[in-house]
Amino acid sequence: MFNNPRFRAFLELMRPANIITAHADILVGVAASGAIGFSAEITPESSVGNFYWISLLGLLLSSTGLYGGGVVLNDVFDAELDAKERPERAIPSGRVKRYEGGLLGGLCLAAGVGIAFQISSLSGTIAAVIGVAVILYNAFSKHHVFWGPLNMGICRGANLLLGISILPEKVAEFWFLALLPIIYIAAITLISRGEVHGGSKKNGFLAVAMIGLVIAGTLLLGLMEQFAVLIALPFILLFSARVLPPFVRAAREPEAEKIKTAVMVGVLSLILFNAMLAAGFSGWIYGTIVLLLYPLSRQIAKYFAVT
């Protein structure tokens, strides 16, 4: 199946390595809600039942549809630009027709929203907001210097809230957690503007400052009773060591290749970002489970483009 050129082309459009990072958002949101978590002894919390495991699976499937649909539509809307800058991609190369990509993207978004409504009305509403934000980003805000990064960040922050919505009443309590992925994704989106022709030092250093703000914000979560910052600290250090060096290099020398490397590291390190939050909310074992998605995503990234 994976050797079938048509199937592979459609799979390329969906960025499978990136979808795994979206799954990590859900796992963190669920951990923050308290619905499913593990102590150091790997003992499930008393509230865990079959309903929560089924809901978790549903949220993961919903996130798959929403993220997959979003990146497919990204290539659909950028088909003419990609024909000049990235002719090897599935649509400009002719391996997938533009209308086929649009149909796939639309079906994925619809499936993501539909599955979420099976979990709860709030989950469905959040998924619908993500779907609208995805379309707005691809159709209007993508190339805007401010609204583009913010719009993309909102998509990712809402995906974390989708995980929290496994217990709908917890969304109002932990809504502010969405600010961290919003800032982080905005930083990646900002620096990615120079991925093809090179960028500006201003955007690069602003992106570095935003990542620093994310790290500081995670440390400040230690003020919450539910977040064990000392347990999260090794994960925070790992995230910082992985993300900051390529971003600083791209900021100092905003060449296309350095920026492309920073973007790829930034996207894949969403899993490291989520692991540090997961560890703080549910212990180092849960954080490690999320972290194990990182090598899986990196391995898949060898075969399918991330950016």
The whole-angstrom separation of Cα 120 and Cα 167 is 9
pLDDT 10s digits, 90-129: 999 999 999 999 999 999 999 999 999 999 999 999 999 9
The whole-angstrom separation of Cα 257 and Cα 46 is 49
DSSP 25-37: HHHHHHHHHTSS-
pLDDT 10s digits, 220-239: 999 999 999 999 999 999 99
Residue 302: its pLDDT value, please? 84
Average pLDDT over every residue of 277-293: 94
Band of residue 193 on the pLDDT scale cut at 50, 70, 90: confident
pTM for the model stands at 0.88
Residue 196: its pLDDT value, please? 61
The answer to whether residue 49 scores a pLDDT higher than 50 is no
Band of residue 138 on the pLDDT scale cut at 50, 70, 90: very high
Question: How far is C-alpha 215 from the geometric centre of its chain's CA atoms?
Answer: 17
Residues with Cβ within 8 Å of 49's Cβ and at least 6 positions away in sequence, in order, are none
The answer to whether residue 37 scores a pLDDT higher than 60 is no
41 token code pair: 């002894």
Residues with Cβ within 8 Å of 228's Cβ and at least 6 positions away in sequence, in order, are 222, 279, 280, 281, 283
Average pLDDT over every residue of 240-252: 96
Structural domains of the chain in order of their starting residue, each with its CATH number: 5-301 (1.10.600)
